[in-house]
Chains A and B, each alone.
Chain A
Amino acid sequence: RKEVEQDPGPFNVPEGATVAFNCTYSNSASQSFFWYRQDCRKEPKLLMSVYSSGNEDGRFTAQLNRASQYISLLIRDSKLSDSATYLCVVSGSYQKVTFGIGTKLQVIP
C-alpha cells in the first residue's frame, strides 16, 4: 500500500461547480498535512495546511479525519484558474515528507 494515495483523475468540472478530493495515508503517526497546488510544468505551491478542526480559506476547505486516515479538499464555485494538479502531502518526522501522485482538476467553461 502506498504511503499517500490520491485518485489521479482527471476531474473535469464545469465552472461554478463544487468539487472534492480525498487523500488517504497509511502511517497513523503522521503529524502534519497539507495541500499543494501544481500548475503544468511549474513547481508545487503551498495551498493550505490541514488541521483536525478543519480550515477554510475563501472557496477552499480542508478537513482531516485521523480515525479514517484521510484528508480532503473541497473547492466551491470552481474557477477556470483552479485548473491544476492538487498534491496531498503528509509529514511525519520533520525530514519525512511524502507527496501523493496528485489529482488533476480541469475546470471547463
Chain B
Amino acid sequence: ETGVTQSPTHLIKTRGQQVTLRCSSQSGHNTVSWYQQALGQGPQFIFQYYREEENGRGNFPPRFSGLQFPNYSSELNVNALELDDSALYLCASSWDRGTPEQYFGPGTRLTVT
C-alpha cells in the first residue's frame, strides 16, 4: 500500500450541490496532485499543491478548487456539480514537486444525479 488515503470512498450528490473530497499524503511527501478519471479514460490532471500553494492547474474550471494544509493533507472542492463531474477522483502524493513519481490513493468515486 502507498500510505495515501482518501475519503469518502463513494459519494452520491445531486446536480448543483457542492462536494469536498479529502486526501492524506504519504508520510514525508509535501506535494499532492488531484486527478479526475472518467470511465474508460486515463486520469486527467486537475491541480497540484506544494507546501500549501497551488503549483499548477489543468484544464478545469474555477469551480474546482483545493487546499493543502500544514500537514500536507489536501482537499478538493467542487461547486455547482454537473452530471459530467461523475468520475473517480484520485489523489497522488510525491516526495517533492520536482519528483514526478507519484503514489496514488484508492480514490473517491463520485456520482452526480
Chain A residues within CB distance 8 Å of chain B: 4, 8, 31-32, 34, 42-46, 49, 87, 91, 93-102
Contact = CB atoms under 8 A, between A and B. Distances in A.
Given A97-B33, A99-B43, A102-B42, A43 B107 contact: yes
Contacts of B43: 44, 87, 99
B66 interface: no
Given A32-B100, A97-B33, A97-B100, A43 B106 contact: yes
Say whether chain B's binding surface is mostly helix, strand, loop, or mixed.
loop
A74 B13 CA distance: 42
Interface in B15-43: 33, 35, 40-43
A91 B45 CA distance: 11
Interface of B: 2, 33, 35, 40-45, 48, 55-57, 90, 97-107
B51 to A, nearest CB: 13
Contacts of A49: 101
Contacts of A99: 35, 42-45
A46 B55 contact: no
Contact of B48 (A32, A43, A95): A95
Contact of A46 (B33, B56, B98, B101): B101
A87 B104 contact: no
A98 B45 contact: yes
Nearest to A49: B101
Contacts of A95: 33, 48, 55-57, 97
